[in-house]
Amino acid sequence: MYLSRFVSLFALALVAVGQDIFIPAVKKAFDDADIPEDIEIVFNPTALLEVSLPQTVGPPIILHAGIHVPRNDTAGPPTFHVVGNVGHGPFVVATVDPDAPTPADPTEAQVRHFLGGNFFNENGLLVNVTPAVSEFRQPTPPAGSPAHRYTFLLFNQSPEFNSQTLVNASTIVTNFNISQFASAVDLGNPIAGTFMLVAPDPAT
């Protein structure tokens, strides 16, 4: 019993190498990176959000919380999966950068890198049936900055989301506040999330 459980966990780890597998590890990575404090959210995830970045050559990069990704590999747009017993949806996905223009002086934070709703859970794949409110923007941390924490959050969608007027495709992406937005639109706390660290392109 113990041995077979060990073997199947080991097999799972081999298959799933790289991506988030354990919810407590994701929570710890968020806490260790001070993300809940810095974006003023309560982060007690009950599921895993899997974010895949397509690559021009080779398989997608699947994030795990705190992974460093070369900026050039972050063009996206990402696809999202959810792992956990979360129901069919709808869901909202938000991506924010709390470190713009630099982590030490984040005067433009948060920058909204994605905001989309009406995602439904199709056997784990999150499929959106409406265009995103804010389409994905590739990370562009400025030269000289340390890596930024690009943070992806999954929320249960509220009835209010589809009639919100706070953000649209032409709303400025800087000085966004996901805590304030979630509160205004009644999204509650995120149910899952992950984040990647992206540094500026090396000087050429």
- The site for ligand NAG (CB under 6 A) is made up of 40, 56, 72, 75, 168, 170-171, 177, 179-180, 183
Concatenated DSSP letters for 122-160?
Answer: ETTEEEESS--SB------PPTTPPPEEEEEEEEEPPTT
Query: Residue 46 Cβ, how far from ligand NAG at the closest point, in Å?
Result: 21
Q: What is the dihedral of CA 112, 36, 65, 204, to 10 degrees?
A: 50
Query: Residue 164 Cβ, how far from ligand NAG at the closest point, in Å?
Result: 10
Containing 62, the helix (H) or strand (E) segment is strand 61-62
Q: Give the integer Cα–Cα distance in Å for 174 and 3.
A: 52
Nearer to ligand NAG, 44 or 171 (CB): 171
Query: Residue 2 Cβ, how far from ligand NAG at the closest point, in Å?
Result: 45
Q: Give the integer Cα–Cα distance in Å for 75 and 77.
A: 6
Query: Residue 133 Cβ, how far from ligand NAG at the closest point, in Å?
Result: 10
Nearer to ligand NAG, 85 or 170 (CB): 170
Nearer to ligand NAG, 16 or 75 (CB): 75
Q: Are strands 148-156 and 91-97 parallel, antiparallel or unpaired?
A: antiparallel
Nearer to ligand NAG, 7 or 42 (CB): 42
Q: Which structure tokens are listed for 186?
A: 């009644």
Nearer to ligand NAG, 72 or 174 (CB): 72
Query: Residue 49 Cβ, how far from ligand NAG at the closest point, in Å?
Result: 21
